[in-house]
Structure 1
Amino acid sequence: MPATTLPTTAPELAAQGEGPVRASLRRTAALARAELLLLRRNRTLMSIAVLMPLAVVALLAGLGGEAGMTGEAAAVAVSSMVGMLLLFVVYYNVLSAAVSRREEGVLQRLRTGEASDGEVLVALSLPSTAITLAQVLLLALLGALALDLPVPGDPLLVLAGLLLGAAVFAGLALVTAVATRTLEAVQMTSLPVLSIAVLGAGLALPLEVLPPVLADVADFTPLSPVLTLVRAGWTGGTGGAELLQAALVAAAWVGLSVAVVRSRFRWSPRG
């Protein structure tokens, strides 16, 4: 992924009538477009992007969606899909991309160009985030048109949950990349995060069957607060201490990831 030469000095920016914020956004967008072109070659990811919403709609139809599924049931089904998207489209893909680009020396070359560290890493995460948002939108449209499923009662809350979730798992992917030296090792180093997220969010085992102490701890795992926000947004529930706690927990995971990445992230294969 070749680095793009962009103006960064104040005179150059002024000559183009472009401020530093706009220039930063332009650099990030250019890098994100290049990353998206690389993602298009990933047949596995593209298959998931196309087939998962269709599979969820088919599942809902089999569970009685055509007879009129309740908002709560739809919210649970959609949040489960959101959880899988965040884990396997955002987390796993950003982790694989970060390790792969580092092995190829791309990250090191980009770091010597005009783009800042933050711009490079955000651009690395944006395509997977965009794909996830598009999949959820497609699911909502297909569900409403084909099965007459309830639409989100609070779309902004759903969007906030999705964006927070993408930030959480993109950050955790970059943290995991610190301990992942080769692309082949991604399958092993990603297991702890995937396992904790799946179990903590109740995707593999209902939280009701867990001891109360473990169920309380599960609320603080990375995926659980995100799905709480998405489910609440889908059913139209807003406000309340539970949503505030969920937002704060998700934000704490983002902050922790940022701190670790700033101090420990490796930009070169040997660094």
Structure 2
Amino acid sequence: MSATTATKVPARGGFSVTRTLHLARWNAVLLVRNRLALTYALVMPLAPLLTLLAGERGLTSLGATAVAGVLLLAGLFPVFYNVLSQFVSRRDELVLKRMRTGETRDAELLTAIALPGVACALLTTAVAVPVAVVAGQDAPVNVLLFALGALLSVVMFAAFAYWTAAWTRSAEAAQLTSLPVIVLASVGPFVGGLPSLSDPLREAISLTPGAAVNELVRVGWFGLDSFDATTTTLTFAETWSLAGQPLVVLVVWTGLALQLAQRSMRWEPRT
């Protein structure tokens, strides 16, 4: 038998939804057993809604800030940090290496790891709608646009997680290596609204993923036509036109993160 034949990997079939869901189920079980991780995944993203109870009832600017915070935290905690730590832990334990020698495809492994966190993020985002309405906020002007923004953001943060895993040596190190993405996601909502910023700097900050998520919430949910607006003026149809730039920003960041993750993916721990 030639060396080429001896080391040949058996051909594997196409992407299996059944196999992916089976793996995702076990990943979900592990998440549920980790009470701290589950709390961060389901409770922490909803924390910004508490400001609606403490502030003036029905205040649009407060509602926009709170809902945007829910969307960002849902992407950062149950998706980004959870996927990052799980992938790195299983890579270091050689779990991923062993599974790749069987029928499981790489795409199935990556999707299965991300699915529980994505499900938690989308669940908390959906729960935020009735909670915000009960707290005095108006119903979303364009709920489809809000849902699209939530879906794009979780895919983007999952891609960021796999990219960050490339230079994360251990699950403990993820606390440090995750900071650049957390800062990148936070700079838009917290810094972009400062009145002292110049227009060029404000425009540059608007291209960050966090600013794009924040803008989608303001346009899609509250129908605000500018960052300084405090009154709903946009109709359902008008929200689609103003949402073009933030949607493009999210798509570009997602594509960039996926491309970088694919190029730098490491399936085994560094020796």
TM category (shorter chain) comes to 0.7 to 0.9
Structure 1 residue 212: deviation in Å?
A: 2.3
TM-aligned CA deviation for residue 108 of structure 1:
1.3
Pairwise mapping of residues 1-271 of structure 1 onto structure 2 (< 5 A)? 24-52=16-44, 55-65=47-57, 68-70=58-60, 72-145=61-134, 147-199=135-187, 201-203=188-190, 206-236=193-223, 237=234, 238-240=239-241, 242-270=242-270
- For the aligned residue pairs, the C-alpha RMSD in angstroms reads 2.3
- Counterpart of 1:269 in structure 2: which amino acid? P
- Report the alpha carbon displacement of residue 167 of structure 1 after superposing the two structures with TM: 1.0
1:89-128: CA deviations, max 9, x gaps? 2111111111111111121122222222112111111111
When residues 205 and 252 of structure 1 are mapped into structure 2, their CA distance, relative to the original with a 3 A threshold, is closer
Count of equivalent residues: 247
Task: Assess, with a 3 A threshold, how the Cα gap between structure 1 residues 57 and 187 changes in structure 2: closer, same or farther.
Answer: closer
Q: CA deviation at 1:234?
A: 0.9
Q: Which residue pairs with 1:15 in the alignment?
A: none
Question: Where does the alignment leave 5 or more consecutive residues of structure 1 unmatched?
Answer: 1-7, 10-19
Q: Distance in 2 between matches of 1:57 and 1:239?
A: 25
Which residues of structure 2 form unaligned runs of 5+? 1-11, 224-233
**C-alpha separation in 1, matches of 2:176 and 2:251:** 26
Matched-pair contact (CA < 8 Å) for 2:192–2:202: no
Describe the superposition over 1:165-193 as per-residue Cα deviations: whole angstroms up to 9, x where unpaired: 01111101110100111112111111111
Q: Is the 8 A contact 2:160 2:261 kept in 1?
A: no
Q: Structure 1 pair 88/209, CA: closer, same or farther in 2 (3 Å)?
A: farther
Distance change >3 Å, CA 181–CA 252, structure 1 → 2: same
Higher share of residues assigned helix: 1
Q: Is the 8 A contact 2:90 2:96 kept in 1?
A: yes
C-alpha displacement of 1:265: 0.3
Report the TM-score when normalising by structure 2: 0.82
CA deviation string 1:74-100 (max 9, x = no partner): 233101221122122211111111111
Would the aligned equivalents of 1:168 and 1:253 in 2 still touch at CA under 8 Å?
A: yes
Hey, what's the Cα distance between the residues in 2 that align with 1:159 and 1:207?
27
- Alpha-carbon distance in structure 2 between the residues aligned to 1:50 and 1:176: 23
Return closer, same or farther for 1:55/1:194 CA change in 2, 3 Å cut-off. Answer: closer
Deviates further, 169-178 or 121-130: 121-130
**Rounded Cα–Cα distance in structure 2 between residues aligned with 1:204 and 1:51:** 25
Q: Deviations over 1:228-268 (max 9, x none)?
A: 2233221245222x421211221111111222222220011
Identify if the C-alpha distance between structure 1 residues 110 and 149 changes in structure 2 by more than 3 Å, giving closer, same or farther: same
Give the Cα–Cα distance (whole angstroms) in 1 for the partners of residues 195 and 189 of structure 2. Answer: 9
For 1:109 and 1:59, locate their aligned partners in 2 and report how far apart those are by CA, in whole Å: 47
**Percent identity (aligned):** 38
Deviation at 1:138, TM superposition (A): 1.7
Instruction: Output the CA distance in 2 between the equivalents of 1:150 and 1:53.
Output: 20
Structure 1-normalised TM-score? 0.82
**In 1: Cα distance, 2:46 partner to 2:243 partner:** 29
Say whether the 8 Å CA contact 1:161–1:227 is kept in structure 2. Answer: no
